[in-house]
Every structure is written in C-alpha cells, then in structure tokens.
Amino acid sequence: MDYVLLVEQLLNGFQLGIILFLMAAGLTLVFGIMDLVNLAHGSLFMIGAFVGGTLALATDSFVLGAVLMVPAMFVIGILLETVALRTLYRRSHLDQVLATFGLILFFNEATRLIWGPEGLVIPLPNFLEGTVALGAGITYPVYRVVIIGVGLLVALGLYLLVAKTRFGMLVRAGASNRTMAGALGVNIPVLFTLVFGIGAVLAGLAGLIITPITQAATGMGEDVLILAFVVIVIGGIGSVRGAFIAAVLTGVIDTMGRSFLDLLLLLVLPANAAESAGPALASMLIYILMAGILFFRPQGLFPPRGATAIQ
C-alpha cells in the first residue's frame, strides 16, 4: 500500500473523529452534569442539518447559513430542554431512554413531514470545492480540510471555555458533584440549560458540516449517535478531553480498519477468506476496542476528576 492512500485515509479518519467529537462533547456534558440519557441528541444532529441547510438555501450562502444556524440551534436546544427534558432529570435511566426514544420518532416524522421523504441536498459553495496540495504528492479536498480546521477550532474554543472561564469551572464542578455544586450556590438548572444549548449547537454544526458530503436525510443522526455513545464510553462520561481523544481514536481506527484490514488479513489468511472476513471484522473493530478498554477501565480512559463512582 502506498503512503499517499495511507495519509489520505488517516485524514479521513481524523475528519470522522472531528464529527464524532462535536456530537460527543455535548452528550458527555449532558450525561456528566445531569445524569441524563438523551437519545434525542441524534435528532439535534439531523435538525442542525435541515435547519442549517434551509437557511443556507434561503440566504444563498452556505457560510451565512452555518452562522445563522448557531443561534437557531441554541434556541431549539433550550426549548427542547425546558419543554421536554427538564421533567426527566429525576426519573430513572429507563424512563429517560424511553421518553427520548419517543422524541426521536417524533422528530424523524416531523422532518419527513416538513422537508419530504427525499431529504435535502446542499451544494458546496465554489470556493470550498476542489482539492488542495498538502505537499509530498498528497492532495486532499478543500472542504474536508475546512471540516478538520473548524472542528479543531471548536475543540480549542470548548477547551478554553471549560478549562479557563468561570462558566467552565462551574460546569466542571457540576460534572464532578452536582449536589455539592448546587449547595455552594451554583444555579444548576440554568447552568444546565446553557450547557444543553451549547451541546445542541455543536450537534447541529456536526450535522450541517457533513451534509454537503452526504445529504440531509431523516434519521441521519442515529448512526452517529451510537458511535458518539461508544466515544463517550471510551473517553469517560463527563470528560471533554476524553471525548476528544476517544473521538479521534474511534474515527481513525474505524476508517483505517475499513480501508486496510482486508489487506492486513491477506498476510495471514487465504485471499477469499480475507476478502469476506475483512469488511465484517472492520465493522466490528471499534466495538471490540470499546469492549477491550472497558474490560480494563470500566469508567473509560479519562473519567472526570473527583467524579463520584458510577452507580
């Protein structure tokens, strides 16, 4: 295998990792602080794609659409939190799973009703098309470079927000021990509504950013949601840093496995066996990784400091 393909796939894996991180960051904070299982986070991914896409088509500018999507998703997230999810905090995980599962059915059907069953195709603006030379004979699509860049910027911003600001300090306190933070006078409900809004924006951004490559479709967030679950389980629930590392790890391993595993298997298996076992094993790779990590570290790689033991 030549190194050009290797580098390209590495970048593709990194890009998938970025998308996963945008999803997982919101999820992990929601879990960490409020102990809430929110399956509807995948719906936010989808809503971001549809709302952002519609705004982009209406304003005739993808960038403007993306910028306008941010406040829109923030409002949608806050509405969802205050109307539907707030009543679920004190309920069991089972109730939370069921209620948010019901919300998924609702949102899927609502988007199908509003945007039709065929989904939404969003063209890329001209300046984002084409490829860019990265040196050493490697060219890579401009838009994918942009995705990676935006993702890294968001990750940096989120890191600064969580690690360096007063708001972030409160968030970390909430993730470590919600009751104690509340007793010390932190307004946990307001804090959480804001965190949820930020999570919604990140999920929506992930959905919108992927849409020019795929397209906006009903239920598009669900596969990503489950991968994001794997990510936060590996990374440790409540840890943004863990989510980032686990997301990149998951993205790279998944992509590399799908491209190269059958070649690797050729070294140890006959050709037809490798050809059929390769894709099967590749699709299972990240779950095996997750199982392996959990076997040795049941709380994930980076559980938040001082977090109470998982019940």
Binding site for other proteins (CB under 8 A): 31, 35, 37, 84, 87, 91, 93-95, 97-99, 101-110, 112-113, 222, 226, 229-230, 232-233, 237, 276, 279-280, 282-284, 287-288, 290-291, 294-295, 298-299, 310-311
Q: Other CB atoms closer than 10 Å to residue 283's CB: what's the count?
A: 13
Closest distance to other proteins from the beta carbon of 140 (Å): 27
End-to-end CA separation in angstroms for the chain:
47
Read out DSSP for the chain?
A: --HHHHHHHHHHHHHHHHHHHHHHHHHHHHHHHH----TTHHHHHHHHHHHHHHHHHHHT-HHHHHHHHHHHHHHHHHHHIIIIIGGGTTS-HHHHHHHHHHHHHHHHHHHHHHH-TT-B--PPPGGG-SEEEEETTEEEEHHHHHHHHHHHHHHHHHHHHHHHSHHHHHHHHHHH-HHHHHHTT--HHHHHHHHHHHHHHHHHHHHHHHTTTS-B-TTTHHHHHHHHHHHHHHH-TT-HHHHHHHHHHHHHHHHHHHHHHHHHHHTTS-HHHHHHHHHHHHHHHHHHHHHHHHHH-TT-SSPPTTPPPP-
**Least Å from the CB of residue 236 to other proteins:** 10
Cβ nearer to other proteins, comparing 94 with 133: 94
In the complex, least distance from residue 53 CB atom to other proteins, rounded to whole angstroms:
21
> CB-wise, 84 or 152, nearer to other proteins?
84
| Smallest gap from residue 233 Cβ to other proteins (A) | 5
Closer of 69 and 111 to other proteins (Cβ): 111
Q: Are 205 and 66 in contact (CB under 8 A)?
A: yes
Looking at the Cβ atoms of 187 and 283, the one nearer to other proteins is 283
Residue 2, Cβ neighbours under 10 Å: how many? 8
Distance in Å, CB of 239 to other proteins, minimum: 14
Distance in Å, CB of 292 to other proteins, minimum: 9
Q: Which is nearer to other proteins, 67 or 97 (CB)?
A: 97
Rank residues 24 and 194 by Cβ distance to other proteins and give the closer one. 24
Measured from the CB atom, is 95 or 118 closer to other proteins?
95
Q: How far is the CB of 299 from other proteins (least distance, A)?
A: 8
Q: Which is nearer to other proteins, 129 or 275 (by Cβ)?
A: 275
- Least distance to other proteins, CB of residue 113, Å: 6
